Amino acid sequence: AKSQPADSEANDAGSDWRWFDGDLNEYYNSLERDEHGKRDPNVITSYAVHRWLGPEASTLIHYELVRGEIYGRLLGTTLKDEGEESKVGLRVFDAGCGLGPGLMYLEQKEPSWDLVGHTISSEQHRWITEDLPPHRFAARLRSYDEPLADGDGE
């Protein structure tokens, strides 16, 4: 099996990939620093990443599909029109919320839902807490599998 190259070797053969010595926080921090100026905190599609499903699909389709599944599997119904909201207070957890686009989308569509996200990237967490418009959802800088501290799981 081929081993991962050291960061100093990563730029060989024209590649700009770096392994970040297995540090996912630094990997996502680097992505955020590189793309930060291209994002508009008031336009969810400018920071909805990792959800591109082809040139004809909106970057929001992933969140629309998730919302539809919540309706079908948890609420036992379907979305009938775009303006519909559930009126049921669900607690929704986004384990790997990144920059928070899914949480912003769901908060706008489902104001009665209690939303919490975890990100492992300090730069993504900073974006959520400092750059996004006012929001009700909670974003925590932690892995989804870390135990919560007292008062963290309200």
Query: Which amino acid type is present at position 143?
Result: S
Q: Using an 8 Å Cβ cutoff, are 105 and 126 in contact?
A: no
Per-residue pLDDT of the chain (154 residues; tens, 9 = 90+): 444 445 444 444 444 556 777 788 888 888 888 888 888 999 988 887 655 566 677 778 888 888 999 989 988 888 876 677 787 889 999 998 999 999 999 999 999 999 999 999 999 999 999 999 999 999 999 876 667 666 665 5
Q: Using an 8 Å Cβ cutoff, are 128 and 136 in contact?
A: no
Q: What is residue 36's predicted lDDT score, i.e. its pLDDT?
A: 86
Rounded distance between C-alpha atoms, residue 9 and residue 18, angstroms: 9
Rounded distance between C-alpha atoms, residue 148 and residue 90, angstroms: 20
- Angstrom CA distances, 83 to 20, 35, 68, 109, stand at 43, 32, 13, 8
Bridge partners (DSSP) of residue 95 are: 118
